[in-house]
Structure 1
């Protein structure tokens, strides 16, 4: 592992650091709003491959997923697609089986619900609908626009963490030693909080607000 990004992904995967804790490390931010799993029980983390669906068309999705790499989390960001499903079973199978991506996340709807549930695919989206996008090249070319360049710079190469609570994106400028240390500290804090709750029978006010455990020098010395 040569980079802090790789170390962060590995630490989150090995310790199953949940989206709640990651969002806390980001100052209670980073969530992709209204995106939830189609199938429960999946935990995925990986490099974000950002692709776009626009103007009620998934043409650019088909083009851009060709470059997805093994273990990527493919993030399909939809703009001006109304309430249409962006993709369904065929494209999901291509991404997850043939491209060997970790997961798919999308800020819009999917279709072919029965197949996606049957295959237990790791997909996070805003809901389901039978009405899909058109597979025609959009008349307006979004590639290269200011919006496209801004969102590509923001998301492509970031890190996504996905679980039953939703999806949190760790921005590229947070993939640092400092953020890695935050993850380690929050895992240690969670261990302490539940220990004080289960074995010391403290109230949540004493644990979370007053942090009485910090005054217990013997206890804290044993945690080092």
Structure 2
């Protein structure tokens, strides 16, 4: 199993939250302003990067047609659409149901919110709007550098999505060291809850002073 698959599998099976993943990234990695459209979804997977420019979603349709990928999290980057909703129900249905991807992230807005909520699709976005993008060809020349830079960062990275939002694990962090951090933070959470729930310690003694370190063997053996 490759390291990327190993990390995704561990996060999925243990439902490692975005909070815990962000802690493993040094309290970073959040995709600012992007929140769940529908609650209670938990999705983790490799990112397939798409983008929208010039108030148009032409590039989204085009790239999905040229590369109809499945089993990924489709990320659609709002580069130049000025507050318009990038996609709505039809494209979401195509991405999730017909192509078989596990979630949608967009740094822009979505439309057809009433249908997306009714269908309870796993979508994370920057809000909703009834005003959508135009469906027209675009000139990519003025955006080549930005598209290349963002694709280099997001494509192939791991996204973890839950009720708190979205955290990105960059490709450079997909390592054995990071995998061990995930395991360690899960163990730490177990110890903290044991100290507070069973031992009735204060959060100050547990989280700040870490007094369990003086009696770690007993704490671990009691779990």
Rate the CA distance shift 1:147–1:173 in 2: closer, same or farther, 3 A.
same
Report matched runs for 1:196-207 at 5 Å.
Answer: 196-207=195-206
The alignment status of 1:137 with 2:118, answered yes or no, reads: no
Shift of 1:87: 0.3
Report matched runs for 1:78-117 at 5 Å.
Answer: 78-117=78-117
- The 8 Å contact of residues 48 and 159 in structure 1, kept in 2 or not, is answered as yes
Rate the CA distance shift 1:132–1:156 in 2: closer, same or farther, 3 A.
same
> How many pairs were matched up?
222
Task: Write out the 4+ residue segments of structure 1 that deviate beyond 6 Å after TM superposition.
Answer: none
Structure 1, gaps ≥5 residues long: none
- The 8 Å contact of residues 194 and 219 in structure 2, kept in 1 or not, is answered as no
Report matched runs for 1:198-217 at 5 Å.
Answer: 198-217=197-216
Rate the CA distance shift 1:68–1:50 in 2: closer, same or farther, 3 A.
farther
Q: TM-score, with normalisation over the residues of structure 2?
A: 0.96
Shift of 1:71: 1.5
| Structure 2 partner of 1:36 | 35
Secondary structure of the 2:181 match is helix
- The 8 Å contact of residues 49 and 68 in structure 1, kept in 2 or not, is answered as no
Report matched runs for 1:40-189 at 5 Å.
Answer: 40-66=39-65, 67-141=67-141, 145-189=144-188
Structure 2, gaps ≥5 residues long: none
Q: TM-score, with normalisation over the residues of structure 1?
A: 0.95
In the aligned structure 1, how far is the partner of 2:193 from the partner of 2:216?
Answer: 18
In the aligned structure 2, how far is the partner of 1:218 from the partner of 1:32?
Answer: 38
CA displacement, residues 35-94 of structure 1 (integer Å, 9 cap, x when unaligned): 111110100000100001011110111112232422200000011211100000010000
In the aligned structure 1, how far is the partner of 2:177 from the partner of 2:138?
Answer: 42
CA displacement, residues 132-157 of structure 1 (integer Å, 9 cap, x when unaligned): 001101244456x2111111110000
Rate the CA distance shift 1:98–1:170 in 2: closer, same or farther, 3 A.
same
In the aligned structure 2, how far is the partner of 1:9 from the partner of 1:81?
Answer: 32
Secondary structure of the 1:151 match is helix
